Structure 1
Amino acid sequence: MASVAQLPTQSSDPVEQVTLEYGCKDVHLDLSKDVTSPWIPWTPGTYLKHTMFDVRNNAWHQILRVDPGAKLGKHRHRGPVNGVVLEGGWKYAEYDWIARPGDIIRESPGVIHTLLAEPEGMTTFFTVAAALDFFDDDNNLTETMDVFWYINHYTSYCKKNGIPINQDLFF
């Protein structure tokens, strides 16, 4: 497999020429290093490791870690969400299933749910599109978050903590 440095810079194939001129490079993120993307506190007992921001599609990818027994408040997604459980377990208060390592979760736009971590906590990779609405216990909308909110979450934390902004996270 060729590395970026070994890829041809010219081609007689017109599609390949356009790809070389306008395509994006492949990206490898070593997530074991905080300089790549740190764990950033989000809500009480939850942390995000941002892995991609796509402003053109109002989409982002992130790893969510939730401490044992913590929860992510009542929320609604305005777009599709896909998740893969990496560690631990979690459920939605509104359902009777528990997501465990290797499970895939597909969430539909418009559904309101409350994420509850199992006693061991959880870590899950999510792809998210559109916006995320949070509600209080009386079902009042308290906050709406989109890709720009998450970019600010990431960049503000990095600037405050002297961590360089990783341009590879931006698509």
Structure 2
Amino acid sequence: MSMLPMLVKDHDELLTLNNNEMPIYKDIMVPGLDVQPQYVDVNRGIWVLRVMFHPGVRLPMHYHTGTVHLWTLSGKWNYVEYPDQPQTAGCYLFEPGGSIHTFNVPEDNTEVTDTLMLVEGANVNFDENFDENGQYHSMLDANSITLLIEQYIQENGLEPASYIKPSMPDYAKNIKG
């Protein structure tokens, strides 16, 4: 009797990406923000992106519905609400769900700030004039990320993006009513 686990799917090759060979989608969400999608799962609401922020980029104040893991690979950034805790190359930041803050890259940065982020859930973004009334601006989640990437590719006449994307749920067998 074999003690090996049952394989759900036998892979002929690893699910791996080489960022050095992948396109970078420049200014995809806001000017100065470049993206390389790594993994996007609309079913579980998880998105993993390599994001490169140019000096002076400031994102809207946003609320996280889930957790975030963020690695800073190069450069420097901070949350406006935490100016004395800049994140620099080598930093790892964990954000619990319910966090609210404003992402900022200093204008005097001498290099692009390169990050890798794993986000669960959505960013609920607020407008510049956010106050106690909470003026909603937009939401960013795995589904909207997918749509933004596809729209960018179509508008710029590019090849389809290469990133890991789990399949949609389906029945284990055909169920007829």
* TM-score bucket of the superposed structures, by smaller chain: 0.7 to 0.9
Aligned to 2:24: 38
Cα deviation, 1:114-167, whole Å, max 9, x if unaligned, reads: 111132241110000111111012321110121110001111112222322245
SS in 2 for 1:151: helix
Any gaps of 5 or more consecutive residues in structure 1?
1-10
8 Å CA contact 1:40–1:49 kept in 2: the answer is no
Matched, 1:77 2:64: yes
The match for 1:60 is: 47
Counterpart code for 1:135 = F
Structure-2 residue corresponding to 1:19 = 8
**Contact 1:79–1:109 (8 Å) recurs in 2:** yes
Segments of 5+ residues of structure 2 without an aligned counterpart are 167-177
Point out the structure with the larger helix share.
1
Q: What is the percent sequence identity of the aligned residues?
A: 23
Distance 1:25 1:129, change over 3 A: farther
The 5 Å alignment of 1:96-115 reads: 96-115=84-103
- Say whether the 8 Å CA contact 2:37–2:163 is kept in structure 1: no
Q: 1:132 aligns with which of 123, 128, 148?
A: 123
Q: Could you tell me the TM-score, scaled by structure 2's length?
A: 0.79
CA distance in 2, matches of 1:98, 1:153: 29
Are 1:122 and 2:116 an aligned pair?
Answer: no
Higher strand proportion, which one? 1
C-alpha distance in 2 between matches for 1:141 and 1:168? 30
In 1, Cα distance between the equivalents of 2:9 and 2:30?
42
Q: 2 CA distance for matches of 1:62 and 1:92?
A: 19
Structure 1 residue runs of 4 or more that deviate by more than 4 Å after TM superposition: 11-14
**In structure 1, C-alpha distance between the alignment counterparts of 2:118 and 2:23, rounded to whole Å:** 16
Provide the alpha-carbon RMSD of the alignment.
2.2
Q: Which moved more, 1:61-70 or 1:127-136?
A: 61-70
Where does residue 51 of structure 1 map in the other structure? 38
Corresponding residue for residue 6 of structure 1: none
Residues 38 and 59 of structure 1, relative CA distance in 2, 3 Å threshold: same
Q: TM-score, normalised by structure 1?
A: 0.81
1:14 is displaced (CA, Å) by 5.9
Question: Any conservation in 2 of the 1:59–1:129 contact (CA below 8 Å)?
Answer: yes
* Residue number in structure 2 paired with 1:92: 79
CA distance in 2, matches of 1:24, 1:82: 30
Cα distance between partner residues in 1 of 2:81 and 2:72: 18
